[in-house]
Amino acid sequence: MQFYSTNNNSSRVSTKQALFHSMPVDKGLYMPVSIPYQDISFFDKIAGGSLADVGYEICKALFAGEIADADLQQITHQAFPFETPVVALEDGALGVLELFHGPSLAFKDVGARFMASLMSYFSGKSDQEVHILVATSGDTGGAVAMGFHNVPGVRVSILYPTGRVSDLQEKQLTTLGGNVQAFEVKGSFDDCQALVKQAFLDTSLTNRIALSSANSINIFRLIPQSFYYVSAYGQSKRVGKPIVFSTPSGNFGNLSAGILASKMGLPVHHFIASTNLNHVVPDYLHTGTYAPKESVATISNAMDVGSPSNFVRLTHLYGDQFDTVAEHVKGYYFDDPSTEAGMQQIYSQYGYVACPHTAIGIMGAQQDKIRSTQDVYHIALATAHPSKFKPLVEQVLNIDVDVPERLAVLATRKKQSYLIDPDYGSFKEALLATI
Ligand SMILES: *Cc1c(COP(=O)(O)O)cnc(C)c1O
């Protein structure tokens, strides 16, 4: 595949460059130069397979002649040892696509694990170990740490602000061991990010180790997220209705991945951008004016984004034509009291326990259903397991929420981290001491 920068249509880079550099030097975003179009028979044939098999078949179309089939098979099956089931809430009318059956219990596993497998493939070919540096405020770091754990040819250093991540999040970052190490920074998330940025600019460091990032804007975190839209299509075909996807959104990577799937030819009636009070995209869809803002804090905090990093990708996929975007994407947003009320309504009506983000996705689908004149099947994306937001969900629904065994075991493990001051000298010294 070849990629261009959204800031410069005539630039071209390879798969490997887009993967390891994440961001073009002109600060745009990488996008595929061409998206291979498949007709419906392709999707009908592949969509019934496992997530790994769906991914494999799409990868064959995307990377034909570039990566051997056997390697693609290995990459996708290593990345996706779990499924993304569609669970019916209202038979034939409303379903939930559960994306939280991976190791860190959130959909970000899908992107992080695929990226890890692909990096491992390339670094295996060059014999040079890749060193991933990530700053995290909690959630993404867990998906990255667990996604890269035990992946050959890759080392991971995670920086997180001490005392500012939840206990379980910290355990995900600090107890894996092996190729994953954690730096506990006596400072804020911004300090962590500044240290990572400085490391990339430090040639005395980058000459010694092959640094890379697992940045959320990396196009190879987005591409694999298109696979579960295809899987959902396969699982819902028996309903026999056009599909509408409602995606709870913050940085809009997840929704852009759905649009990418539809550009590959997947039949989707339309999309719904469901957000919390950070509703710059729903506003844009109503008015045509895009006005990024400071983010506001909500209970669906993984979506607290006032200036979504994938907005440019979303509009590029529609040729930057507002009318086309507005025709294919509807926007709804919900404040915290209505999110809590929605969680309660979803629990009492369907017996379904939704995290606040997932609840917003379901509510967006319900709102759209009220306004819809067509008989369609709404599928809301469930982006995190409710136990990731255990105190909140338990308080709002007045129930006990169990943490799945695979994550609960981490709580008993011993934390291992390097405690450092928030200055670059301390970080560099500690990092070099580990290699
Ligand atoms: C990251 C995240 C989102 C937002 O996804 P985007 O791709 O940034 O729009 C929604 N829900 C949860 C639980 C998340 O972790």
pLDDT tens sequence across 238-264? 999 999 999 999 999 999 999 999 999
When pLDDT is averaged across residues 98-106 and rounded to a whole number, the result is 94
Question: Which is more confident, 124 or 341?
Answer: 341
**Quick one: what percent of the chain has pLDDT higher than 90?**
83
pTM as predicted: 0.94
- Phi and psi torsions of 83, nearest 5°: -115, 170
Residue 253, ligand 1, Cβ within 6 A: yes
Look at strands 2-5 and 30-32 and give their pairing: antiparallel
Q: Report whether residue 105 contacts ligand 1, using a CB cutoff of 6 Å.
A: no
In a domain, 336, yes or no: yes
Smallest CA separation from ligand 1 atom 8, residue: 251
Q: Is the Cβ atom of 333 under 6 angstroms away from ligand 1?
A: no
Q: Please check whether residue 265 lies inside any domain of the structure.
A: yes
Using the mean position of ligand 1's atoms as its centre, give its distance from the Cα of residue 245 in Å. Answer: 15
What pLDDT, on a 0 to 100 scale, did the predictor assign at position 435? Answer: 85
Within-domain flag for 280: yes
Q: Is 266 inside a domain boundary?
A: yes
The yes-or-no verdict on residue 183 having pLDDT over 90 is yes
The answer as to whether 152 is a domain residue is no
**Angle between helices 139-148 and 108-126 in degrees, nearest 10:** 40
Q: 355: which strand partners? A: none
Structure-block tokens of residue 12: 């071209």
How far apart CA 261 and CA 271 sit, in angstroms, is: 12
Q: Is residue 181 scored above 90 in pLDDT?
A: yes
Neighbours of 124 (CB within 10 A): 14
Asked if residue 248 belongs to a domain, the reply is: yes
| Cα(339)–Cα(337) distance, integer angstroms | 5
Q: Give tens-digit pLDDT for 20-50.
A: 988 898 989 999 999 999 999 999 999 999 9
Q: How far is the CA of 249 from the centre of ligand 1 (A)?
A: 6
* Within a domain: 189: no
**Which CATH number does the domain housing residue 289 bear?**
3.40.50.1100
- At residue 216 the predicted structure's pLDDT band, cuts being 50, 70 and 90, is confident
Residue 103 near ligand 1, beta carbon < 6 Å: no
Model pLDDT, residue 189: 86
More confident residue, 103 or 273: 273
Indicate the number of domains in the chain: 1
Q: Which residues pair with 14 in a beta bridge?
A: 2
Q: Is residue 181 part of a domain?
A: no
Substitution site in 254, 280, 388 for ligand 1 pocket (most atoms within 8 Å of beta carbon)? 254
Find out whether the beta carbon of 273 lies less than 6 Å from any atom of ligand 1.
Answer: no
CA distances from 270 to 242, 297, 325, 369 (A): 9, 29, 10, 12
User: Ligand 1 within 6 A of 98 CB?
Assistant: no
Judge contact between 140 and 113, C-beta under 8 A: no
Structural domain harbouring 96? 84-103+219-397
pLDDT at 164 over 90: no
Rounded to 5 degrees, φ, ψ at 398 are 55, 45
Kindly report which listed range (12-21, 109-118, 139-148, 286-295) carries the lowest average pLDDT score.
Answer: 139-148
Ligand 1 neighbourhood includes 303 CB (under 6 angstroms): yes
